[in-house]
Structure 1
Amino acid sequence: MESTTAQRRFPHVLAVAAAALLLGPLLLICSPSHAIEPLFDAHLHYRDTQAERFPPDAVARTLDENHIEAAIMMAPRASLIESLESSSQARIIPFLEIAQRLGRKMDWMYVEDLREQVEAILDRDAVAWRGIGELHIQADDRFAPSFEDLLELAVERNLWIVIHGDPAVIDHAYALQPEVRILWAHAGSYAYPSLVRDYLIRHPNMVIDVSMRNPRINPGGIIDADWFELFLDYPDRFLIGNDTFSLARWEHFTVLKDGTRDWLMQLPDNVARMIAWENGQRLFPAP
């Protein structure tokens, strides 16, 4: 069935490619998909070091100029979230970034009493944290007790977890906690469409953000045929994101976001709207 579907759709990919080559910049002006509004960004970070040089009003202006009307914001402190909420018209969905607070990027899962520390933060903060992450974790660390504790905590408290990790980490998480809701950052460590497709089938509670993957999805400005098919087959399982892990990515936010718009405009309008906005609104509704 999938091969038949691919044969039926592949001419559309060729048509998109031909149009992009012939029309070039005119596509950016004429395509209705290019003006997709609004946008939901599912992968932003805001940290103390960034706030020193890129204050909340600059963040608010950046989100507004790029028509980001809602965003998952990963931050280590409630005060950072509160400063953004008071400055920005965008709806902020706060995620607790524990690696920036309770450990280091790659060893947080070995911090003693991690679950207890996270629970204390969740109970104390006025911010209503909606998730935990981004958690960088490699396959060899997937059996760490603190990681398993966080999975259990996420299910108990109805929290999402953002995982930046190997496929084996995802499999282990769902073997332990089938109900856990995972946002798999960057389409995983090995962002190959065939592998991503397999994992979407395996784990129906998982959704994917494709932040940092514009070069793979849209090489040379023409959407990759396998990614195109994947988006059409699973339009309700993908989200976009800019991944502002560094100050430079806040400063070049518009250029990065325009790179995402370039491939969104090559999708059918209904699919583009789902990935750009509707999936985020459905999965992370306003309280």
Structure 2
Amino acid sequence: MLYRIVFFLLFSAVLISSNAHARDYRFSDSHMHYVDFFQNSDGMNKLLESMDKAKVDHVMISGIPLTKKWDENEPKRPRYYAGDYGSTYWYSATDDIVANAVMKLSPEQQKRFHPFLCGFNPTDKNADEHIRRLLDRYPGLWQGIGEVFTRHDDITAMTEGETPRPDNKAMERVYRLAADYDLPVMVHANITSQRERNPLYVDEVETALKKHPEVRFIWAHAGTSKSLHRVQERLNFLHPRLEELLKDYPNLYIDLSWSMLDPYLLNADGTPDKDWLALVEAFPDRFMIGSDVVGSFDSMGKFLTGFEPFLDALPTAVAKAVARDNFLAVLPRNRQIASAEPQPD
């Protein structure tokens, strides 16, 4: 009798383990940066190698809209934007770096890449004209706008000029252009500051959603960041407020990049959070996952496979949509392959 019980338990354990890893996910990386804050990159060959290794079929590829200054008062070249007290500044050439890298690929390779342009100052009411020039210069290339840096932790304080907001007049002009060209817009907009334990800035996001229902908004990290988590750990108001916004605004999509795994999607013991599972199931076409790698791509696979425990707890169809297809669904309806050469201004 004891033998049968032991055998049954061992068989059950093997079966559970087998089922837990039975799904073979293919991914779309909905949030990655080809360059870092110094506009450097591991290069396209390394990116393609990492994509193939991580089973990534498609990527949102963007630059970084800011670059870090090596200040006169700093004796050592900084290695990260937060490495010293030097400022950051808006850097429009980041889009040309991305465009040149993608356009060197074959047409078949290009189909895996979905470039978003981001190299503009979101407080400048000329920003929409800059974007229009880039759209004309590289016809057929751009698939979206972003990641637009609005309220973004220490970066906002380090960047000279006005504080960017997702609802300012300059961004309203960008949203109207995005609607004209059927481009989704990914916005980084912190839902609160590092010290306030309430959704301090959520009205700025909601205003943009309400005024521009024709624009597909992708909210980067659902309004969170690692810097917020270091100070506040878990934002308890995030889940209920996000649920309200998703109900009220069908044009809102959520980027669940790696910083969302802890402390939201997975509990301390590694089990999926039931409330977040229920939220994703309630809005199965509105969530996507991204690595948010920055110029270096070795960790892409680790970040994306880190979502598998959460994905495994979802219904199969929902999990595969979140892993791959929801991102593709927000892209422009009529995609073209980019021209071989940029067009003159």
Using structure 2 for the length normalisation, give the TM-score: 0.66
Equivalent position SS for 1:178: coil
Question: Contact 2:188–2:219 at 8 Å: present in 1 too?
Answer: yes
Equivalent position SS for 2:306: helix
**1:239 & 1:286 partners in 2: Cα distance?**
21
Q: Which residue of 2 aligns with 1:232?
A: 281
Alignment counterpart, residue 67 of structure 1, candidates 55, 69, 94 = 55
Question: Contact 1:60–1:87 at 8 Å: present in 2 too?
Answer: no
Q: Does 1:181 align with 2:216?
A: yes
> For each residue in 1:91-123, what CA deviation from the matched residue of structure 2 results, as whole angstroms up to 9, or x when unmatched?
11111022xxx3xxxxx2233522211111111
- Higher Rg of the two aligned structures: 2
Call closer, same or farther: CA 1:120–1:53 in 2, change over 3 Å: closer
What are the within-5 Å matches in structure 2 for residues 211-222 of structure 1? 211=257, 212-215=259-262, 216-219=264-267, 220-222=269-271
Q: Does 1:268 align with 2:312?
A: no
Q: Which residue of 2 aligns with 1:150?
A: 174
Q: Which residue of 2 aligns with 1:125?
A: 138
**1:266 & 1:83 partners in 2: Cα distance?**
40
What are the within-5 Å matches in structure 2 for residues 25-64 of structure 1? 29-32=18-21, 34-36=23-25, 38-47=26-35, 52-64=40-52
1:80 Cα deviation after fit: 2.6
**1:201 & 1:113 partners in 2: Cα distance?**
33
Question: Contact 1:137–1:169 at 8 Å: present in 2 too?
Answer: no
Q: Does 1:134 align with 2:147?
A: yes
What are the within-5 Å matches in structure 2 for residues 48-127 of structure 1? 52-75=40-63, 76-77=95-96, 78-83=99-104, 88=109, 91-98=112-119, 102=120, 108-111=121-124, 113-127=126-140
Question: Contact 1:221–1:263 at 8 Å: present in 2 too?
Answer: no
1:141 Cα deviation after fit: 2.8
Listed as ranges, the gaps of 5+ residues in structure 2 are 1-11, 64-94, 152-162, 192-201, 225-234, 336-345
Q: Which residue of 2 aligns with 1:205?
A: 251
Listed as ranges, the gaps of 5+ residues in structure 1 are 1-21, 103-107
**1:115 & 1:209 partners in 2: Cα distance?**
24
Q: Which moved more, 1:84-93 or 1:196-205?
A: 84-93
> For each residue in 1:20-70, what CA deviation from the matched residue of structure 2 results, as whole angstroms up to 9, or x when unmatched?
xx96x986654255422x211111111277885512111001001111111
**1:184 & 1:280 partners in 2: Cα distance?**
12
Using structure 1 for the length normalisation, give the TM-score: 0.78
Question: Contact 1:57–1:88 at 8 Å: present in 2 too?
Answer: no
Of Structure 1 and Structure 2, the greater helix share is in 1
Equivalent position SS for 1:141: coil
Question: Aligned pairs, how many?
Answer: 254
Q: Kindly report the root-mean-square deviation, in angstroms, between the aligned alpha carbons of the 2 structures.
A: 2.8
Q: Which residue of 2 aligns with 1:8?
A: none
**2:51 & 2:111 partners in 1: Cα distance?**
7
Equivalent position SS for 1:116: helix
Call closer, same or farther: CA 1:131–1:30 in 2, change over 3 Å: same
Equivalent position SS for 2:221: helix
